Structure 1
Amino acid sequence: MTTYALGDIQGCQPQLRELFGIIEDETPGAKLLFAGDLVNRGPASLETLRMVRDLGERAVAVLGNHDLHLLAVASEIRKMKSGDSVQPILDAPDREELIDWLRHRPMAYTANGILLVHAGVLPQWDLTVTMELAHEVEHVLRGSDWKDFLAEMYGNLPDKWDDSLTGTARLRCIVNGLTRLRFCTADGQMEFASKMGTNEAPQGYMPWFDVPGRKTREDTVVFGHWSTLGLLLRDNLVSLDTGCVWGGKLTAVRLDDRALFQVDCPGFLEPGDSPAKPTR
């Protein structure tokens, strides 16, 4: 089946609807892979969730940091932050159905040589390990103690993977790698403060995908999260977050032939906001 990968929507449902129409004209019924952050900051997070949910099995959406933030806010574990735009979801009559649907989304997805994640993959993880670790988090999020996990999920430590990690520390490190990673050292120590592009990497750090010998280098990793990186197409890499919510574009790439489809976005953030502004 023809497959398209789409970058971070972040509640920009009018642009998603326009891009979806273009895709449908090109390839009716195509498979759609969403690189996470369906919600927040844009004006139509509720409509976005409903639209992607209603696509059924033809759509796969991995969880991003903004999606996890919504789960935490809905569970009264985290407070709303300035710039959040998820209140309509919390007020919706189908709120519980949407939250339940969201927490059952995968942390990572693979098919036909593609690995889809929101942010990145630590260099020590190959495809099999990445999926196994993602399933560990999914198991907890889909279980009866999911709110307890969310209450312990936030934090920057441990910032380096170790196979011996257990419990909350292990799950937090997995979540941070899959949903927050931009820069890390050659041995996989993560750095979370820097939000800008690759030319402003902190000393001693590099983009996760440029780590020599990373174990997913033979797989095609598709990801979003990094709007200041923007569109990046390599043989084994597809970066899709082109900053729709910041006034950039919403992007889809047809993975079969790397054809590019984009729509312009007006931007929806408050004056003074910046793509470099921390979200976690």
Structure 2
Amino acid sequence: MATYAIGDIQGCFDELQQLLEQIQFSPDDQLWIAGDLVNRGPKSLETLRFLKQLGDRARIVLGNHDLHLLAVYYGAASAKRGDTLNEILEAPDCDELMHWLRQQNLVIADESLGYVMVHAGIPPQWSVKKARKRAKEVETVLRGTLAREYFQHMYGNHPDRWHRDLEGWDRLRCITNYFTRMRFCDAQGTLDFSAKGGLDTQPDGFLPWFRQPRKNPDLPIIFGHWAALEGEAEAEHVFALDTGCVWGNTLTAMRLEDRQLFSYACIGLRNTHNPKLNTPAFLQR
């Protein structure tokens, strides 16, 4: 039995299947998926259906694209240019898939394996225990009767720093942004949303979240979200698994038991309607 963590799939279903064949994924193995299951790629519907049918064999955290899909589904947001979500929204099993998706976590911590997984990161001022507690606040709303209202208030860059006195939607939005959108922050956890490239785009006064002094520096953290890192966080106990498959690069898995990496190259262009969308922002500048 082995456990494999995989970075952002974003609808690259064919590459996912090829990668699973490469690692000889068996019925005894388990998958960890670091968020952004859908969007931009061509087969988001197939990806959701496949992961759902794995049941307990798949452990998933939600990414910003997954939350965006749910927001569109609930009528709280409109599809954006470049989104590839219509096939899901028009599918006969859409309601069932969306119910399943909003049951997923924002943070997964496994003491037996000794890993934590989150889509974007954990703010440096939070311990893993506190991160799980904050994640639970959002997860409870996502799974309850206030989900639609949550998505109506989810978007926005403020507040850009955590304070324990935050309340209501501001509080939930700040938590959500840490777990699903964070890249650079300062030592107090103030977020910068302007820089989305590699480490050379670091704003003055900010560092990648994983290079700030952290509460649990020796606990391995798996994350995705940041394709511009190309899988190289260059920090101890931090594993960046978004290697930009949807942008024409690779889909990557890490076997947690020995940290061996496996990659499968992108099969083809992801968006034939707008070729520029195949190039990530950090290569467009």
TM-score, normalized by the shorter chain, greater than 0.5: yes
- 1:242 alignment counterpart: 243
Superposition RMSD in Å: 1.3
**Matched residue of 1:109: which SS?**
strand
Match of 1:225 in 2: 225
2:271 is equivalent to residue 272 of structure 1: no
Structure 1: gaps spanning 5 or more residues: none
1:150 is displaced (CA, Å) by 0.7
The residue type equivalent to 1:57 in the other structure is D
CA distance in 1, matches of 2:21, 2:28: 11
> Take 1:194 and 1:9, find their aligned partners in 2: how far apart are those partners?
22
Q: Distance in 1 between matches of 2:280 and 2:126?
A: 28
Q: What is the Cα deviation at residue 164 of structure 1?
A: 1.5
Distance 2:216 2:154 in 1: 25
The Cα shift of 1:141 comes to 0.1
How many Å separate the matches in 2 of 1:218 and 1:135?
23
Residue of structure 2 equivalent to 1:118: 119
Q: Secondary structure at the match of 1:92?
A: coil
Aligned AA for 1:79? S
Give, in whole Å, the separation in 2 of the partners of 1:219 and 1:143: 31
TM-score (norm 2): 0.93
Aligned to 1:174: 175
TM-superposition CA deviations, 1:18-44 (whole Å, max 9, x none): 11122235x552111000000000000
Check the 8 A contact 1:24/1:30 in 2, yes or no: no
Give the Å deviation of 1:46: 0.2
CA-CA distance at 1:203 after TM superposition: 1.0
**Identical pairs, percent:** 48
Quote the offset at 1:85 in angstroms.
0.4
AA in 2 matched with 1:17: Q
Letter in 2 for 1:87: N
| Inter-partner Cα distance in structure 1 for 2:76 and 2:243 | 30
Residues 248, 267 of structure 1: 8 Å contact kept: no
Q: TM-score, normalised by structure 1?
A: 0.95
The equivalent residue for 1:62 is: 61
> C-alpha distance in 2, partners of 1:57/1:232?
29
1:131 matched to 2:132: yes
